[in-house]
Amino acid sequence: MGLKARSEFLYFAWRNKKLRVGLAIILFFALMAIFGPFLAKYPPNEYVEVAAFPPSREHWFGTTIFGQDVFSQFVHGLRATFIVGLIGGTIGTLLGILIGFTAGYRGGMVDEILNMITNIVLIIPTLAVLIIIAAYLTVRGILTESIFIGLTAWPWAARAIRAQTFSLRVREYVDMARISGMKSWRIIFGEIAPNMMSYLLLVYILQFGGAVLNAAALDFIGLGPTDTVSLGLMMNYALLWAALPLKIWWWFVPPGAAIMAIVGALYVTNVGLDEVFNPKLREL
Amino acid sequence: MTLQVENLTLYYQTLRGDARALEDATFKMADGEIMGVAGESGCGKTTLGHGIVLLKPPMKFVRGRVVLDGEELPIWDMERMREYRFRKISIIPQYAMNALNPIRKIGTMIGEVVRSRGIDYGAILPELKRRLDLVGLSHDVLKMYPIELSGGMKQRVVLVLSTLLNPSVLIADEITSALDVSTQKAVMEMLVEFRDRGFVKSIMVITHDISILYQVADSIMVMYAGQLSEKGPTEVIIHRPRHPYTKMLIGSLPKVGVRYAETRLSGIPGSPPVLLDPPPGCRFQDRCPVAFEKCRDVPPFLEIEPGHFVACWREY
Amino acid sequence: MTRYLSRKLLIYILTFFLAVTIDWLIPRLMPGDPINVMISRLGPRNPEEVKLLRDYYLRLFALDVPMWQQYINFWKSVLQGDLGRSTLYFPRPVMDIIKAAVPYDVFLLLPAILISWFAGNNFGALAARRRWLDNTVLPIGYILTATPYMWLALLLAWALGIVAGWFPIAGAYSFELRPHFSWLFIKDLLWHWFLPFLSLFMVMFGGWAIGMRNMIIYELEADYSRYLETLGAPQSLIRRYAFRNAVLPQVTGLALQLGTIVAGAVATEVVFAYPGIGNLIVSAIQNQDYFLIQGCFLFIILGVLLANLFIDVAYVIVDPRTRLGMAGEVA
């Protein structure tokens, strides 16, 4: 990206309201995930107070039925959420890039086979596979969860990137590179990938959001990490320990609201970025 | 006069401000005239063609009058203009190959469009079929989906549909750019035939390829950076151009009949001015070899001999 | 068309094959010995009894033959509809348990998917034509589709179930009732159905509305729409064409969303203790009932495959290009 193009990008990026709002929300929660645990006065799982205490000055988000501090759990859970998003999203995107580029660039039989595999894996519901994997692992950490989420999330990304690569590989500069005898991987990463950076960023954002939602679902049905707190797990406990009939709303409202806000902000950022990258979509 | 355009000025709204795509265009098209409009990309020729038919954002009407058969067209009013489109003025767009709804049979689509304009499809069907014969298409295309047709066939369908109601003016926008040379000739001949048979009165052929105009156009209008440079009978423009830009344009053709690529003109240093904030006066002045003081003012588009208009201070 | 559908069919058959293979592998890869778990649950008193039970179960689950034979046997029994016996609900056959759960899934998911799809599409198309509507629908749509299914379910259960007290928050029908055909029972069934349906509906609705809104704006900018405008066609015709074209990716989108919908259904069923397969698979996992997990997994795949097939046929009907054997589809 030339200097002029970059300043133009920043100019439109700053002017885009969706991008500003989305990034602000993500940043807010990211800061909370990083610094929140230092602010929290109690360890997340320690029984510190009378049970089911509503939000107060001492316990900002109240306490659980066991007397744990909800705010402590919340900020630690946020951390877990961002870790899953980062790792799961990265793995999913990288796999998608690898498979999508290879299929789209090589074409022919390689594409035929990879596409077939992608289509098959695409049909099998991710959560069903994750349930089985999670049930197989008795001890689960946040890292393993992230890795498995990433490993099952690539198909749609691979397909989207494959389609993009198809349209790019017939471009002139790619032909030039090929004629001049450049190696395939160098053409892919030297010529095609830079022209798709914006698209890959959008894919990554969606993978990030998808990983967060998948982790929440997995944690909620009790197959999440066994050694730490997470937002999904908080809701799981809230449901199991009758937060509904006991009206302990402060137990399950914050974790879900945070997931919704983060994922929603990711989507909005995505739309904003899309508008910045594609001049056609810019509002006049 | 079929078409009279006076001071037509159209801008494009962009985030950085208005791009002054067409400035004070004033010209006439006679009954039966096939007029070519030529120039580099970005010269305003497409803005002119589309602005007359379908003026919608980001294109913006600034000023001017368009008079068709003695009646002023409300081109700034999307709704009122609807009545004139198709019946009085029509276009074969550059994207003719993608202009048909991909999931409707061609006959069904034509029927729906025609009926939506309050015309009985059954009554017009025989004429539609006659015209399909004329352009060498079988009647079966009416039962086909666009994907079953080649690009050239789709373009001919669009030609037939656009002219079905015998409009006064047809605007043909870059209709030859995607075709090979032999097909180009056939398409241009169809245009002439449609004119000769009275399906359309006058045709405006927008192209970057002057050689295609030489064969069929009665007159040629040359544009540069949103301004009209020169208009005159084809013979005159090709052999005795007066505007320095036209001279270079014609001169850059090794000989008539050879196409030049739509890139920057070789031999003319510089590039067209940015239309967001063009210099005052003649917009060609920075690249013009004969520019002088006076070019800081906009030159009028004056008739220097019957039917030959030039916008250059050196020629008056 | 035959080429299009047969290609799809091949993918589905391969998918099914893969799913059955994964399914066969599960209990063989899982930690813990399902038979030990089961025997300990029945509480035998002496080693002979343990051995007796063990032999019995080994025969029952056919674990006493070589691996390849087990695999072939597994296929045989799957094709015969024999999925083994549940250890959690011993000795009920897994097939019976699942058969009892499937109607609830159909009853819950089919209306939620179809109604949200139709409503979302129409609403999204409507939003694209009015700015004020667009300005409200778009944010609401993004919020809804970003909402985790279980959280919305929890919120609805809390607000409409507990606080307002309008709806029950657990089960498919009241405890005191037995399933039978009467107005009383049907009313009770619908009463319990409403909240899980609503939470699934709302999340999906947001996604469809946004998808349609974006697609239709894209289609209204398409060349064929522009050409219609140059022909002076009325907005109604242009919008009708754009809608028809914009629906196509929404149909394929439905196929792509099935995975997410399954996840949403599992979470929602858990919140409302709704007796579908989602609830079943979770309790099966909690109790290490591997045969039941197998069966649920297989049925989820089967359901998804059936839905895909149905969507394919629908797509062929709406997109003429697939009928002509030309690549027009995106999936």
pLDDT of residue C31: 62
Q: Is the pLDDT of residue B261 over 60?
A: no
* B262 confidence band (pLDDT: 50, 70, 90): very low
Interface confidence (ipTM) of the complex: 0.90
Question: Environment class of residue C205 by beta-carbon count within 10 Å: exposed (0-12), middle (13-18) or buried (19+)?
Answer: buried
* C230 confidence band (pLDDT: 50, 70, 90): very high
pLDDT of residue C62: 65
Q: Which of B75, B103, B106, B128 to mutate to test the interface with C (most CBs of C within 10 A)?
A: B103
The answer, for C157 touching chain A at a CB cutoff of 8 Å, is yes
Q: How far apart, in Å, are the Cα atoms of B149 and each of B93, B139, B140, B141, B159?
A: 17, 13, 11, 8, 14
Is residue C230 within 8 A of residue B90, CB to CB? The reply is yes
Question: What whole-number distance in Å separates Cα of residue C5 and Cα of residue B187?
Answer: 39
pLDDT of residue B264: 44
Cβ distance of C321 and B99 shorter than 8 Å: no
Q: What is the pLDDT of residues C101-123, one digit of tens each?
A: 999 999 999 999 999 999 999 99
Q: What is the pLDDT of residues A22-80, one digit of tens each?
A: 999 999 999 999 998 888 878 887 777 777 788 888 888 888 888 888 999 999 999 99
pLDDT of residue B263: 42
Residue-wise DSSP of chain B: --EEEEEEEEEEEETTEEEEEEEEEEEEE-TT-EEEEE-STTSSHHHHHHHHH---TTEEEEEEEEEETTEE--TT-HHHHHTTBTTTEEEE-TTGGG-S-TTS-HHHHHHHHHHHTT--HHHHHHHHHHHHHHTT--GGGGGS-GGGS-HHHHHHHHHHHHTTT--SEEEEESTTTTS-HHHHHHHHHHHHHHHHTTS-SEEEEEES-HHHHHHH-SEEEEEETTEEEEEEEHHHHHHS--SHHHHHHHHTSSSTT----SSPPTTS-S-PPPTTSPPSS-TTTTT-TT--GGGGSPPP-EEEETTEEE--GGG-
Q: Is the pLDDT of residue C214 over 80?
A: yes
Q: What is the pLDDT of residues B90-138, one digit of tens each?
A: 999 988 888 999 999 999 999 999 999 999 999 999 999 999 999 999 9
DSSP state of A191: I
Binding-face residues of C in 9-38 toward A, CB within 8 A:
11-12, 14-15, 18-19, 22, 26, 29-32
Q: What is the pLDDT of residues C53-65, one digit of tens each?
A: 777 777 666 667 7
Q: Pick from B80, B79, B87: which is nearest to B114 by CA?
A: B87
pLDDT of residue C63: 67
Q: Is the pLDDT of residue C331 over 50?
A: no
Cβ distance of C237 and B116 shorter than 8 Å: yes
DSSP state of A280: G
| Closest-approach residue (CA) in chain B for C223 | B99
Q: Which of C131, C228, C230 to mutate to test the interface with B (most CBs of B within 10 A)?
A: C230
Is residue A211 within 8 A of residue A156, CB to CB? The reply is no
Question: What whole-number distance in Å separates Cα of residue C109 and Cα of residue C306?
Answer: 14
DSSP state of A52: T
Q: What is the mean pLDDT of residues A87-99?
A: 95
Q: Which of C266, C277, C293, C309 to mutate to test the interface with A (most CBs of A within 10 A)?
A: C266
Of the listed ranges A88-102, A176-190, C160-174, the least confidently predicted one is A176-190
Question: What whole-number distance in Å separates Cα of residue A165 and Cα of residue A107?
Answer: 10
* B268 confidence band (pLDDT: 50, 70, 90): low
Q: Is the pLDDT of residue A281 over 60?
A: no
Q: What is the pLDDT of residues B128-172, one digit of tens each?
A: 999 999 999 999 999 999 989 988 899 999 999 999 999 999 999
Residues of C in contact with A128 (CB under 8 A): 262, 281, 297, 300-301
For helices A3-15 and A249-277, the axis angle rounded to 10 degrees is: 140
Q: What is the mean pLDDT of residues A200-216?
A: 93
* C286 confidence band (pLDDT: 50, 70, 90): confident
Report the relative pairing of strands B202-207 and B34-38 from DSSP bridges. parallel
Q: What is the pLDDT of residues B204-259, one digit of tens each?
A: 999 888 888 888 899 999 999 889 999 999 999 988 899 999 988 888 765 544 44
* C41 confidence band (pLDDT: 50, 70, 90): low
DSSP state of A221: T
Mean per-residue pLDDT over chain B, rounded: 87
Q: Is the pLDDT of residue A84 over 60?
A: yes
Rounded to the nearest 10°, the torsion over CA B231, B235, B236, B240 is: 130
pLDDT of residue C323: 77
Task: State the pTM of this model.
Answer: 0.85
Question: What whole-number distance in Å separates Cα of residue A167 and Cα of residue A100?
Answer: 12
pLDDT of residue A94: 95
Cβ distance of A125 and C163 shorter than 8 Å: no
Question: What whole-number distance in Å separates Cα of residue C207 and Cα of residue C220?
Answer: 20
Q: What percent of chain A has pLDDT over 70?
A: 93
pLDDT of residue C7: 83
pLDDT of residue B260: 47
Q: What is the pLDDT of residues C126-147, one digit of tens each?
A: 888 787 888 888 888 899 999 9
Question: Environment class of residue A44 by beta-carbon count within 10 Å: exposed (0-12), middle (13-18) or buried (19+)?
Answer: buried
Q: What is the mean pLDDT of residues C312-331?
A: 70
CB pairs under 8 A between B and C: 83
Q: What is the pLDDT of residues B298-307, one digit of tens each?
A: 899 989 889 9
Q: Is the four-CA dihedral B132, B135, B140, B143 of positive or negative sign?
A: negative
Residue that the structure tokens 């778990």 belong to: C37
Q: Is the pLDDT of residue A225 over 80?
A: yes
Q: Is the pLDDT of residue C220 over 70?
A: yes
Higher pLDDT, C204 or A194: C204
pLDDT of residue C42: 63
All domains of chain C in start order, with CATH: 99-288 (1.10.3720)
pLDDT of residue B269: 56
Q: What is the pLDDT of residues B40-97, one digit of tens each?
A: 887 888 899 999 999 988 888 999 999 999 899 999 988 899 999 999 999 999 888 8
Q: Is the pLDDT of residue C270 over 90?
A: yes
Question: What whole-number distance in Å separates Cα of residue B210 and Cα of residue B66?
Answer: 25
Those chains having 3 or more beta-carbon pairs within 8 angstroms of chain A are: B, C
Contacts of B42 by beta carbon, 8 Å cutoff, 6+ apart: B225, B272, B275
Residue that the structure tokens 């991909």 belong to: B102
Question: What whole-number distance in Å separates Cα of residue B59 and Cα of residue B14?
Answer: 9
Q: What is the mean pLDDT of residues C45-70?
A: 73
Question: What whole-number distance in Å separates Cα of residue B37 and Cα of residue B46?
Answer: 9
Residue C159's CB: how many other CB atoms inside 10 A? Answer: 14
Q: Which residues of B touch C (CB under 8 A)?
A: 53-54, 56, 81-87, 90-91, 93, 95-96, 98-105, 112-113, 116-117, 145, 147-148, 158, 161-162
Q: Pick from C270, A44, A127, C272: which is nearest to C280 by CA?
A: C270
Adjacent-strand bridge partners of B29? B3
Q: What is the mean pLDDT of residues C255-264?
A: 89
Q: Is the four-CA dihedral C202, C208, C213, C214 of positive or negative sign?
A: positive
Q: What is the CA radius of gyration of chain B?
A: 20
Contacts of B125 by beta carbon, 8 Å cutoff, 6+ apart: none
Q: What is the mean pLDDT of residues C212-231?
A: 91
Q: Is the pLDDT of residue C2 over 80?
A: no
Rounded to the nearest 10°, the torsion over CA B263, B269, B272, B273 is: 150
Cβ distance of C226 and B145 shorter than 8 Å: no
